[in-house]
Amino acid sequence: MDNAQDTRSNSGILGAYLARTPGSAKLAAEAANLFPSGITHDARNTDPYGIYIERARGPHKWDVDGNRYIDYFGGHGSLILGHHHPVVNKAVADAYEGGSHFGANHRREVEWGQVVQSLVPSAERIRFTSSGTEATLMAVRLARSFTGRQTILRFKGHFHGWHDHMTHGYTNHFDGTATTGVLPGVAEKSIVVEPGDEAAVRAAFAANKDIAAVIIEPTGASFGQVPVRPEFIHFLREVTAQNGALLILDEVVTGFRVSKGGAQVEYGVTPDLTSFAKIIAGGLPGAAVGGRKDILDLLDFNVTKAQGKEKIQHPGTFNANPVSAAAGIAALSTLDATDAPDTANATAARLRDGINEMFASEGVPWACYGTFSGFHLFLNPKGRAVDPTKFDPFAVGQDELKPNSPAQANKLRLALMANGVDISGRLGGFTSATHTDADNRDTVAALREATRMLRAEGELPG
């Protein structure tokens, strides 16, 4: 196997990629006349073009040229049961058979809410939305309305969707200025501090009595690419309560993944509000905000009337649509019954170890790290002396963990795709409960070959 792959090293990364993907190239040329950058999601920005996928099963997907990939995008984290899970599939087909939108209440939304609440007890009340962006938008609106305060405290590099309150401080505008198209007044009401920095959080509360809520990705930015320790989440729980502010855990990624009940159950922290998306809807569009009844009561017609408060309006054509509800019920019940998060976590741990052993044996000065069912590649931009098997991301700054050189990252991705593995552009991914040891082994082999190809092109020392 190594011999066959060594031959590919000689063809060059771009050449190997182009030779495998003529069908994708053709579609990309058509897409270039339709979509900005030819893509429909920023994460798909690939030079010269990304792959076009035709179908997917379990941990694998196949492009229009018939190439198979081990998939670590996992539906951007929504597919912990893998692609095309039979139970989810049947539930979706059955629901669609009945009709996709009734303009009315339906039994599946009740069942969906019940299964969410059974897994995440802090969700005393739930409101379904169509995307995680909408869920964090609603969480922030609830927090501001409930507390009568305006400012939201966020963390550098943490992603909470693309609405106006969440844009600066994610990949740019770390100085607090508004990103293009966002009103400066909106940006001013959202302050961003270093994750993990208790002193900075305390100082923010001391200086600003207007903080309505703190929102955080509980395992760290981008599912722990820049990790935060569980103690920091406990600290945030305390400091928000002390200061009359709310704690919003953004469990769009971690929900139903870190554990059945998400990071909050795993860590034993009860937030005031939680945003959910991805796994909650079983791979279809769907999301929710859940939390304290007295806060979500701001969406309740009768309670707000009785309390003399203004109700927060919340329509949304596809809220809790029956097909997404069916997928969500099937996925959540199945992951609960099968301990899918534990399986995916164990697979990722073995994958991280396998990659690091390979890096060590190949003399590659990189490292693979992560927690739960995630992995991230550290490409060592400052040329540190690294023992991949002992790498500690807490010893390295955010600037080294996150912004890998886009050109190098792109080349690594092309090399990996040329060897049948698809990871995200931030250089990491998710395992599902369907990834096997054979997938791990093939992934390590593909990454070994990719590093050799990079070395052959002078992109890696040694």
Residue 251: name the closest of 294, 282, 220 by CA: 220
Q: Report the distance separating Cα 462 and Cα 450, nearest Å.
A: 14
User: Does residue 222 contact residue 157 with C-beta atoms inside 8 Å?
Assistant: yes
Q: Which helix (H) or strand (E) holds 154?
A: strand 151-155
Nearer to ligand PMP, 131 or 274 (CB): 131
Contact characters 158-187, ligand PMP, x per CB under 6 A: -xxx--------------------------
**Closest approach of ligand PMP to the CB of residue 96, in Å:** 21
**Two tokens at 295?**
């806060």
- Position 277 contacts ligand PMP (CB under 6 A): yes
H-state helical runs in 339-419: 340-362, 398-401, 406-418
**Closest approach of ligand PMP to the CB of residue 27, in Å:** 23
According to CB under 6 A, which one of 56, 284, 287, 409 is a site residue for ligand PMP?
287
**Closest approach of ligand PMP to the CB of residue 287, in Å:** 6
Nearer to ligand PMP, 10 or 172 (CB): 172
**Closest approach of ligand PMP to the CB of residue 357, in Å:** 29
- Position 76 contacts ligand PMP (CB under 6 A): yes
Q: What is the dihedral of CA 355, 357, 360, 363, to 10 degrees?
A: -60
**Closest approach of ligand PMP to the CB of residue 161, in Å:** 4
Q: Report the distance separating Cα 104 and Cα 321, nearest Å.
A: 10
- Rounded to 5°, the CA angle 428-431-433 comes to 175
**Nearest residue relative to ligand PMP (C-beta):** 132
User: Does residue 435 contact residue 347 with C-beta atoms inside 8 Å?
Assistant: yes
**Closest approach of ligand PMP to the CB of residue 254, in Å:** 8
**Two tokens at 59?**
């941990």
Contact characters 20-59, ligand PMP, x per CB under 6 A: ----------------------------------------
**Closest approach of ligand PMP to the CB of residue 218, in Å:** 9
According to CB under 6 A, which one of 63, 250, 297, 422 is a site residue for ligand PMP?
250
- Position 443 contacts ligand PMP (CB under 6 A): no
- Position 430 contacts ligand PMP (CB under 6 A): no
Nearer to ligand PMP, 83 or 278 (CB): 278
Nearer to ligand PMP, 31 or 287 (CB): 287
If you count them, how many residues does the chain have? 462
Nearer to ligand PMP, 133 or 373 (CB): 133
Nearer to ligand PMP, 159 or 378 (CB): 159
Nearer to ligand PMP, 290 or 354 (CB): 290
Give me the residues paired with residue 155 across strands. 193
CB within 8 A of 218, min separation 6: which ones?
228, 233, 249, 250, 251, 254, 258, 262, 263, 264, 267, 269
Side chain identity, residue 221: A
Nearer to ligand PMP, 217 or 422 (CB): 217
According to CB under 6 A, which one of 71, 109, 217, 297 is a site residue for ligand PMP?
217
Q: Spell 204-216 as b/e; 16+ CB within 10 A means b.
A: bbeeeeebbbbbb
Nearer to ligand PMP, 122 or 451 (CB): 122
- Of residues 114 through 143, those in contact with ligand PMP by CB under 6 A are 131-133, 136
Residue with tokens 């159950």: 265
**Closest approach of ligand PMP to the CB of residue 392, in Å:** 23
User: Does residue 418 contact residue 388 with C-beta atoms inside 8 Å?
Assistant: no
How many CA atoms does the CB half-sphere of 112 hold within 13 Å?
Answer: 32
Q: Report the distance separating Cα 382 and Cα 227, nearest Å.
A: 19
**Closest approach of ligand PMP to the CB of residue 374, in Å:** 11
**Closest approach of ligand PMP to the CB of residue 442, in Å:** 26
Contact set with ligand PMP (CB under 6 A) = 76, 131-133, 136, 159-161, 217, 250, 252-253, 277, 287
